[in-house]
Structure 1
Amino acid sequence: MPFGAFVLTDKGHQGMYAVYPNSLLPLKSKRHCKLDTELNIYNQEINKRRIGIEHVFGSLKTFKTLAEHYLNRGKRLSLRFNLIAGICNLKLSKK
């Protein structure tokens, strides 16, 4: 990753901050304790920026090859992924 770049992650990647300090991840609330209003706004700002990425992941997963466990040869996975990404980019460019 480029030096100084930020990584947007979701709440499932809590350990990412230890590996890459420039990661922005939403804060989790503790059990029986809600987040303050300012922290909720912080989470909303991160999620606003991530939603477009999540929509692209969703469109990629409409293809069974990427939605399920890949059982074919590993050499061909990158080729298939590139083909599927090209199809999704073509659909996005037509919108």
Structure 2
Amino acid sequence: MFISKSMDYQNLSAEQFKRRFGVYKQTYRKMVESVKSVEADSNSPSKRGPKPKLSIEEQVLVTLEYWREYRTYFHIGTSWELSESTICRIVNKTEKMLLQSGNFRLKGKKALLNQAEIPVVTVMDVTETPIERPQKKQKDFFSGKRGYHTLKSQLVADQNTEEIICVFCGKGRGHDFSLFKK
């Protein structure tokens, strides 16, 4: 499967776009607007260096593709005809700009404590994601339950509104409840 950087993503139907990139077109447009506004707000006196090969819209698509498929930078780079390091810089820059915009930030655990109205029914789930063996402090990441090195991710949501209240990540060794207590 070879995807040229001139891939015609604009002609995808709403359903196909969601399947391909993991977000709706409206969300994608909001992401592009947020990145453009953050870039316009940055006070850089001059735009040095060569012009980027990808537009902001395409840079957001590269980031979405990385999040959706979790392919290596090398594979995404070959799809978009860019180097691995360029893809890495694009993903990191786009993530940073989306966080700076404030529109795409998930709250931390303190948000659960600071909430004025505590939800009656909350849903909590912890999942373990396998990672490569760390070079240092392997013991902290080794999950006896899974038998390999993991990171734990905890999600707390309001069941009635389906709103995500907070997200927290930790090392794979501890018990799920101890992650909640931290």
| Structure 1 or 2: more strand by fraction | 2
TM-score by length of 2: 0.18
Q: Which has the larger radius of gyration?
A: 2
